[in-house]
Structure 1
Amino acid sequence: MQANSSDKFAGKGISGSTLKWIAMITMIIDHFAVGIFIPMMEAGQLSTFDYSSVYTAYTISRAIGRLAFPIFCFLLVEGFFYTSNVKKYAIRLGIFAIISEVPFNLVIDQTFWNLGYQNVFFTLLIGLVTIWSMSKVENNFLKLIPALLGIVLAELLHTDYGAFGVLLIAVLYQYRELRLWQSIIGGLMVAWEITAPISFVLSYFYNGLKGRYNAKWLYWIYPVHLLIFGLIGRAILNA
């Protein structure tokens, strides 16, 4: 698969590794708010002043965290075009979706098992399979079929970001060769979260270069940090 010929920022823009780290750091900040700040507020042991301070920190952290998912979606689409083996890419996402499910549940509702809400790796996996299927269809109208199937599947499985997440991935894929329009449409799609459009300002300046990072190590960040935050959150509630 070929790289995007419209990467006009090649050599001077933002590399893939930089975007990944921005997404990872903002995601961790977001999950800290959910995994730690929410249990602190729910435990009922804070004074009025402390509760207000924690709630403010929670709100700010969540706003920062809104940058993560759109960047991950953008990078998934880029990864699809750059990878030499889409099947292995999908298998890797599937493995980490399974590994991450218990840590994800711990952060979301302090339980070890909950089939009512699945982690974002499932969303990314469905999104990858969706655009993979779309790439096999030449007619743009018929591409709607795999897109709709992916959207419905994500919603039925109650994955993180659900139907919207897969729709965003499909749209970013469809407009990949038109970076400006991809950024504008992507930004408008996530504008319901006020800070999220910033993600597409950053992705617009993507230079098409991978940068330096260990992909396997980065994958492990997701389940590990969720497990840590989830266990701390349970301890706070049970204290």
Structure 2
Amino acid sequence: MSSFALHNLAMLLMLCDHLQLTLLPELTILRCVGRLAFPLFAFMAVEGYFHTRSLKKYLVRLLILALISEVPFNLLVSGSSFDPYHQNVICTIILGLCCIWAFENIAADRQKLLSAVIIIAAFGTAIIANVDYSSAGVLTLLAFYAFRGNTLRCRLLQLASLGFISLLLLGGIGFSYPYQALAVLSLPIIWLYNGSQGLHNGVIKTVNYLFYPAHMLILALLAI
């Protein structure tokens, strides 16, 4: 499966999740399948980290997307255009990528103090700013970074780490309907990834970025 296919599947699953949140609350099956979306996006963000020509430009693009998406996200989640108590998932991805960069610096014996500060600041920001999936979302990106690979060992570690994050940190245990535990079902899909880009051009790249704020804004307006 190419990154194009994986990304489009993730967008479809996210759309299902947000449809249940706004227009079809009785269809809990949409919420269930929607739990697979974030791990797919987290995995693709980590792959983007390894394949981007410029990490700085990659992060700037994500930061712009996070800013553009904040009002649609607020409208979708809280019904208000301004909500300082909950930030969108692009912020989570940015914090996770910053942590990956910092851990790579520490491993290479470079800028250790700065890197440690970045890691602490990233996790602190995730918790205080209440980004989507909080610090657990940041951990998800780190897990895909730390256990990147197609070996059986890597896959077992991915399963264990995502299972731990989903069950213990995101409420999979102790709830009548532990939807978040279903996130581990994203792994067999991820394991189909073949490393190829698939269909890729400027238009597709732009559509992939803008889908996130656009679909949230449309659903939020339809739900009024």
Q: CA deviation at 1:122?
A: 0.7
> What pairs up with 1:155-234 in 2 under 5 angstroms?
155-177=127-149, 179-188=154-163, 189-191=165-167, 192=172, 193-213=180-200, 214-234=204-224
Q: CA deviation at 1:181?
A: 3.4
Does the Cα contact within 8 Å between 2:102 and 2:116 map onto a contact in 1?
A: no
**Among candidates 146, 150, 154, match of residue 122 of structure 2:** 150
Q: Tell whether 2:61 aligns with 1:71.
A: no
Task: Select the structure with the greater relative contact order (CA < 8 A; seq sep ≥ 6).
Answer: 1
Q: Tell whether 2:36 aligns with 1:89.
A: no
The two structures have a TM-score, normalised by structure 1, of: 0.78
Q: CA deviation at 1:149?
A: 3.4
Q: CA deviation at 1:233?
A: 1.3
Amino acid at match of 2:15: I
2:175 match: none
Q: CA deviation at 1:117?
A: 0.5
Q: CA deviation at 1:205?
A: 2.1
Structure 1 counterpart SS, 2:24: helix
Q: Tell whether 2:12 aligns with 1:36.
A: no
Cα distance in structure 2, aligned partners of 1:21 and 1:120:
17
1:91-143 C-alpha deviation (Å, 9 max, x unpaired):
01100100001101111111111111011111111111111121111179x78
Q: CA deviation at 1:170?
A: 1.1
Amino acid at match of 2:211: I
Does the Cα contact within 8 Å between 1:15 and 1:208 map onto a contact in 2?
A: yes
Does the Cα contact within 8 Å between 1:110 and 1:233 map onto a contact in 2?
A: no
Q: CA RMSD in A?
A: 1.9
Does the Cα contact within 8 Å between 1:172 and 1:182 map onto a contact in 2?
A: no
Equivalences, count: 202
2:10 match: 23
